[in-house]
Amino acid sequence: MTLKGKETAAAWFFLLPGFIGFCIFVFGAVVISLGLSFLEWDMLTQPKFVGLQNYLRLITQDKTFHLVLKNTVIFVLGTVPARLFLGLIFALALVRNIPARAFFRAAIFLPVIIPTVAAAMVFRWIFNADFGLLNEFLYNVGISNLPRWLSQPKWALMAIIILSVWKDVGFSTVLFMAGLQGIPSSLYEAAWLDGANRWKSFVHITLPLLSPTTFFVIVINVISSFQIFDQAYVLTGGGPGNATNTIVYYIYNNAFQWFRMGYASAVAWLLFAIIFIATFIQFRYQKKWVYYE
């Protein structure tokens, strides 16, 4: 065997365990879940083939699914723009040579590495309607009609959005900082020599050259937001009155609370279709505003 052949064999040898694990625990599970979506099975009795009945019931009859889909879409529309806007603002500030820049960078990114369960437990105290820090602050600034964050349907989803933005905005900030540092400073110098102010430089140089990073941040945040689960599970338990129940939470309940594995698999594949369509639309229209040169 030649040296190149030995190197190829060694590479496959090291890749093989991970590849086998992927085939069994990822690809295999995906294929099995697709098959389960056409069955009615409670893990105790014999599976029953029902064809497309699970999907038809989801789309036409299941009002709870329609509600959790609405909640999930509201969550996506609430978190993605906030992460995008705040991440860009923080990145623009932190790429500059400001005092205590290292401290602020660490402070913004720290929530990303905090376990979500721990963060949600802390925020349960912050959102407490009677002695929570947030309502205490609102009361001190003159607001008397204080919201009951976790017990009122109109505020519970907002509480989860606030937690999620705080938790993940640091990731968007890091991505934007990397994109900003890749923009040549000579472009700004040339613009300033031509009389452009900071706002014009931002609009005509920063935003266009940052558009590939912006596109990536949007895609990643949309995909992750559609999969929201742990914040709702720990903070509100899907309540009150399904106000914070999401698609992934609904999958969990169907599979591991109500033991409707076939129905849960159908919900999962419908979620996959929604994420795929949303991502496809973003890739389809990104040529109109993303500049790679």
For the stretch 91-129, pLDDT in tens is 999 988 888 888 999 999 999 999 999 999 999 999 998
Residue 80 and residue 218 in contact, taking contact as beta carbons nearer than 8 Å = yes
68: CB partners within 8 A, 6+ apart: 242, 245, 246, 247, 249, 250
Cβ atoms within 10 A of the Cβ of 94, count?
19
Q: Crossing angle for the helix pair 133-140 and 116-126, nearest 10 degrees?
A: 40
* pLDDT in the model for residue 263: 95
3 state DSSP class of 60: helix
Exposed/middle/buried for residue 245 (C-beta within 10 Å: 0-12, 13-18, 19+): buried
For the stretch 234-286, pLDDT in tens is 999 988 889 999 999 999 999 999 999 999 999 999 999 999 999 999 999 88
Q: What average pLDDT does this structure show over 206-218?
A: 93
What is the spatial distance between Cα 151 and Cα 148, in angstroms, rounded to a whole number? 6
Which amino acid appears at position 136 of this protein? E
CATH of 63-119+164-288, one of 3.30.413.10, 3.40.640.10, 1.10.3720.10, 3.20.20.70: 1.10.3720.10
For the stretch 27-73, pLDDT in tens is 898 999 999 999 999 888 899 999 999 999 999 999 999 999 999 99
Average pLDDT of the chain, as a whole number: 91
* pLDDT in the model for residue 3: 66
DSSP state of 236: T
Which backbone phi and psi does 49 adopt, to 5 degrees?
-75, 125
